[in-house]
Amino acid sequence: MTRQIVLDTETTGLSAEGGDRIIEIGCVELIGRKLTGNNLHTYLNPERDSHEDALKVHGISNDFLRDKPKFAEVAQDFLRYVEGAEIIIHNAAFDVGFLDKELQRLGQPAFENFVESVTDTLVMAKQLYPGKRNSLDALCDRLGVDNSGRTLHGALLDAELLADVYINLTRGQEALLIDLGDVSQPGAAVVRADLRGIELPVLHASEAEQAAHAAVLAEIDKASGGRTVWRAQESTL
């Protein structure tokens, strides 16, 4: 079963290349599209102060971070946690760029070398909702995900919200996965029937069925005084 990690970071600013650093990493684990509770969350000492604009976004003070571990101290635990998983990030280029820079400082290869793949929910959202706002907050509002507790950005909270957003964005992909059995009953067996690989035959209506259908439509049209929608459409063709 696919292991997915929803990941978010907070940083001292917007430019990894310009020397900005990661100050917080938040990850939540999904297995079988369900939260497991096996989360990873850590604050980091970035060895520099956050920009004023960044402080307004995340509210994590420089003093709070001074006694926190440096990225080098948590890197191996972090890499073991994400190893081989599909990573889900909103605006992945930003977070992966920062992770790559932190790993580069340690002489490590790029982040994507440690994971199965990286899925960008911002790219997915732009494809589903072209021309609309697709920030995390906008997607929460659109998809009915409760983000009322998000007054400031926080990596773990944002990862939890993004997990809900991702499940909603991809719900159609699981529409043909059917659970049989009541898991609330002790010892109940659950059978998953995956119907996605089945090619359903197309059964065309017979001439008699088509004639019967036309007769019903004619009766409805007659009862409406010839004002049915399909008649109006036919007249414009």
Residue 114 in contact with residue 83, Cβ under 8 Å? yes
Instruction: Mark residue 187 as left, alpha or beta (left: phi above 0; alpha: psi -120 to 50; beta: remaining).
Output: left
Among 58, 153, 204, 213, the active-site one is 153
Residue 58 annotated among the catalytic residues of the structure: no
Within 8 A by CB and 6+ apart from 126, the residues are: 134
Residue 192 in contact with residue 181, Cβ under 8 Å? no
Bridge partners of residue 26, in order along the sequence = 8, 41
Alpha-carbon span 153 to 223, nearest angstrom: 60
Residue 145 in contact with residue 161, Cβ under 8 Å? yes
Helix (H) or strand (E) holding 123: helix 121-128
Residues assigned a catalytic role: 153
